[in-house]
Structure 1
Amino acid sequence: MAKPSASKDSSARGIMITVKPYGPTSEELAAIGERVVLNPALLDYIGHSKARLLYVEALEEDAPVKSGRPKPPRAFRATLYDDKRHRTVFADGLLSAPRKLSLTESALPPPPSDAEFAAAVKIVHRDAALGAALAAGHLEPYQPIPALSLTELPDGSIERRITVGLLPRGQNAEHEIVAVDLAARALTRFEGRAPGNAHPHPSGLCGVPHDANQTTADKGTAGQVWVTVSQGGQTLWRFLAVRPAASSGTNGSGVELRFVDYKGKRVLYRAHVPILNVKYDQNACGPYRDWQYQEGMIQAQGSNVAPGFRLCTAPALTILDTGSDTGNFLGVGIYLRGNEVVLVSEMEAGWYRYVSEWRLGTNGTIRPRFGFAAVESQCVCNVHHHHVYWRLDFDIRTASNNRVREFNDPPLAGSSKWHSKVFEIRRPRDFARKRKWRVENTVSGEGYEIVPNANDGVASAAPDAPFGRGDVWILRYRGSEIDDGSIAIGPPYEANLDQWVNGEAISNHDVVVWYGAHFTHDVNDAGPAQPDHIVGPDLKPVNW
């Protein structure tokens, strides 16, 4: 059962943070998983095959009424994989009645679970040569990117294998990535010691020392909380926060905020990062589409207030702050810094470490931030370019009656610095014109401005252009457009947001703004993890 709410008071500024758990717990979802695998309907559906349970996730409503009262998850999805038939099986049901299942299947290979990776490592230990090196401590296993190796079989089906990276820890040991077939308990070694999109680098390893396989949070791990921030008896902020492991989207979306209200008025229905990718110079590795559900450890002092949430007595520290890939807490740290409430978590995707952070000020400013770091790998020795795409589903006061205006100084035409966007459109950043955007309610006049920061870059000027597809998209809200549907294995790797720019009217409607930012990482020049390796805009209230 959920714990009662917990609070932290900063008496010097009179700021109170209250956190209340929401939704099912990990234990409740695990219990459902145990019942699902024994369900007669599932066993009959699978037949003579064997299907592994990968994870159980709580599902939000398919078509929620945005103006309605938020409701806790009612449904779940259990994901299983059938090696014999090379298929993914989905078992959907209600949390209150898990015996009744809706069963479907897909040819798309699912991301590996932590248990699958652990099983793959055990099989590598059984290999005569690699097992001896592992036992002697000359090699250390880790999860690389991509996490799966896919091979098309003669009949057109896709063979799914788990990749295992091996870091050199002994004299004469070499970095290698292998693929493991769990069903056949067989190991494949690649020519050149790695798949084609993870070429070895002649200079050896670069990056922060690896975390020695500290625990990570699996996809679907439960964790949602209501956060209320008050000052002097007035409620300033109220929103639902979702940990990365439970976040929405095909590949997760980092720390996710929903139902964001400032001073009792709605700002955002949902804010998250559903798309994240990376491109290397000369295609030295990759390209990759990354996942954002696998949490890594952070340093956080305080008390646990819900699954995956810790209310901190001091700022929570990530790899960008400490230069270390180790920590003492898995999930989201919540703390007060000055007049801002900060939510921060660290995520792992192979040899990348990403920091997902939201800073909410008492003055109404929201500062979404995303950070980039790298741990030991041969790939990250090469210059590479990260692209992060926030999805900001604004509902200024209401879901409807919103419009977007753009500011340019000097003006684009005539004397007015502001003009309205009438139809769906993709827009570049233009720092020379101080370009920014304002989402406002056409009835009340209240709004929020999206102000770019210099570190966010311009897609068309990025060294890997046109891989970074753009800077800002202004779209009509569609509940099905959470992300572009590309799974982390790829291809495709690029963000396919242009598919939704199809001429729909957006003025006086429900609008969504996608904000892309671009970061070039040269580990040899700037180091693998620095506090300024971050991007993100400022969202500022107007007429509030």
Structure 2
Amino acid sequence: MFLQLALAAFVVAAASVTPLPDAPAPAAAETPPPCGSDHRVDQTLTNGARWQMCWEMRTIEGLTLSRVTYTPKGGVPVSVLRSAALAQIHVPYDSGEPRYHDIGSLGSAVIPLTDGDCPGGERRLDQVCVTTRPRGHAYLKDGFGDPGQRRSLQGRELVMLSAYQVGWYAYVAEFVFGDDGSITPRVGATGSLAGTTTSPEYGWPIGVGRKHFEESHSHNVFWRLDFDIQGKSRDVVEQYDFPGNKTKKRTLEKTVLTRETAARSRPTRWWRVVDPEVRNTDRHPVSWEINNTDTAQYRGPADERFTRADLYVTQYKACERLATYNAEPRCAESVDRYTDGEKVRDPVVWVNVGFHHVPRDEDADPMPVHWQGFRITPRDVTATNPYRAE
């Protein structure tokens, strides 16, 4: 693994769209996203849900999505994200060294994709795979003895995939868009183990006997998500907690994050980005929920304070691009320093997901993929089941 810091300035233009009406209106998605055909994605899934977006391969962050819009079946387009990209892959080893920051020039580390990497899909410039695949049950309801009342449906998802060779690791990066309106960013690490030898205190025996101990390490993956729910002017980030451990009752506690914040994952804690003026036909505000419970919550030393939180909320600044080693001279170096209490009017959400990799014999070359990521779920975007919405 290596670190390259050859930053090039890039600013993503803000989307400008109008709020959803209170009653359904015809979908206005005939106007394509403002990008060339090679970089435009417009996919309608089998249940009628439609995803539209632009993509580009940035020198630093690699695959970057912009102008992401979701149209539920029978509904109107809802813009969700102005941009989404990886912001860092921090890899500290258990013995204390080395401590890699693997994002520096992912765009120049792209692994050219083959048809085998993109089954049933389309390779764009051999850099990105655009495909769809089954995602399991969308729902299942028993008919309680009446076969005519039984309901079951399989769901599908749109996948945007790219891969990068960083030292001995290959990273497979996916943005997965469900037919239920969900978004799942995730990264899979594969390729080869480092081949380093350490003591039993810091590793696991690999190979014959107990002569070689492969060192354990963490992968702390950061994503940068610039939410724009029908424009940037009203979006708010809220934190939800449900205290009541070891009691019969649980209460709901809402905290509005009006200023830049570093937040930590806890059981039953989640966040949402909401536009209070964009409402579904039940007149409930449209939002997207962020759940980051599948994280190892690595906490590093004082000079790695960026690892001390699992979600950061910051005010949009074009030069705040990476979670660490941000080399833009106009901005601070790491995401923990971006959160200085500034009032948030146009929120950017940074999500940190940790995975502690303890090697095993099964990781022999080529190493099977181990995945880490989080989930973004629509909350009140439609007033009914998105598979049955009309």
Q: Report the TM range for the smaller structure's normalisation.
A: 0.5 to 0.7
Aligned amino acid, residue 254 of structure 2: W
> Which position in structure 1 is the counterpart of 2:312?
473
Gaps of 5+ in 1: 1-55, 74-222, 303-309, 317-328, 489-494
Share of identical aligned residues, percent? 25
Of 357, 375, 394, 2:174 maps to 357
Question: Against the structure 1 CA distance between its residues 341 and 233, is the aligned structure 2 distance closer, same or farther, given a 3 Å change threshold?
Answer: closer
Q: After TM superposition, list the pairs within 5 Å mapping 1:497-512 onto structure 2.
A: 497-506=335-344, 509-512=345-348
- Shift, 1:254, TM fit: 3.4
Aligned partner (choices 367, 377, 383) of residue 216 of structure 2? 383
CA drift of 1:385 comes to: 1.1
1:313 aligned to 2:120?
yes
- Say which of 46, 55, 67 aligns to 1:259: 67
SS in 2 for 1:504: coil
Pick one of 253, 274, 280 that aligns with 2:93: 280
Contact 2:187/2:371 (<8 A) preserved? yes
Please report how far the alpha carbon of residue 470 of structure 1 lies from its aligned counterpart in structure 2 after TM superposition. Answer: 2.3
1:353 to partner: Cα distance: 1.3
Q: Which of 240, 253, 265 is the matching residue for 1:407?
A: 240
Query: Cα distance, 1:57 vs. partner?
Result: 11
Letter of the structure 2 residue corresponding to residue 540 of structure 1: T
**Paired residues of 2:270 and 2:290 also in contact (CA < 8 A):** yes
State the shift of 1:469 in Å. Answer: 3.8
Pair 534,453 (structure 1): closer, same or farther in 2 beyond 3 Å: farther
More RCO (CA 8 Å, sep 6+)? 2
Q: Which residue of 2 aligns with 1:395?
A: 228
Give the alignment partner of residue 110 of structure 2, picking from 275, 295, 301.
Answer: 295
Q: Which residue of 2 aligns with 1:228?
A: 42
Residue type at the aligned position of 1:354: Y
Instruction: Give the alignment of 1:164-175 within 5 angstroms.
Output: none
* TM-score, scaled to structure 2: 0.67
Mark the CA change 1:237 to 1:394 in structure 2 (over 3 Å): closer, same or farther.
same
Question: Are 1:496 and 2:334 an aligned pair?
Answer: yes
Determine which of 151, 163, 183 is the counterpart of 1:366: 183
* Secondary structure of the corresponding residue to residue 242 of structure 2: coil
Aligned mates of 2:264, 2:337 — CA distance in 1: 17
Return the structure number with greater helix share.
Answer: 1
The unaligned stretches of length 5 or more in structure 2 are 1-5, 18-31, 72-76, 135-155, 198-213, 279-284, 328-332, 382-390
CA contact (8 A) 1:332 1:344 kept: yes
- Please state how far the C-alpha of 1:253 moved relative to its aligned partner: 1.9
Whether the 8 Å contact between 2:305 and 2:336 is mirrored in structure 1 is no
Shift of 1:64: 3.0
Contact 1:459 1:465 (C-alpha < 8 Å) held by counterparts:
no
Encode CA deviations 1:347-387: one digit per residue, 9 max, x unaligned.
11111111100111111011111111242543383211111
Within the alignment, does 1:438 sit opposite 2:269 as a pair? Answer: no
Query: 1:67 Cα deviation (Å)?
Result: 2.4
Q: SS of 1:430's equivalent? A: coil
Q: Deviations over 1:469-525 (max 9, x none)?
A: 42100111122212257279xxxxxx821111111122xx21111000111222236
- The structure with more radius of gyration: 1
Partners of 1:443 and 1:313 lie apart in 2 by 40
Provide the C-alpha distance between the structure 2 equivalents of 1:71 and 1:57, rounded to a whole number of angstroms. 24
C-alpha separation in 2, matches of 1:271 and 1:258: 7
Considering only aligned residues, what root-mean-square deviation do their CA atoms show, in Å? Answer: 3.6
Partner of 2:133 in structure 1? 337
* Cα deviations by residue, 1:519-540 (Å, 9 ceiling, x for unpaired): 1222236626334x11111111
SS in 1 for 2:95: helix
Instruction: Tell whether the 8 Å contact from 1:224 to 1:240 is kept in structure 2 after alignment.
Output: no
1:451 equivalenced with 2:287 (yes/no): no
The alignment of Structure 1 onto Structure 2 pairs a total of residues equal to: 299
Q: What is the CA deviation profile of residues 399-443 of structure 1, one whole-angstrom value per residue up to 9, with x for unaligned ones?
A: 11011111112269x943322112111001112xx1110100021
- For the 8 Å contact 2:296–2:356, the answer to whether it is kept is no
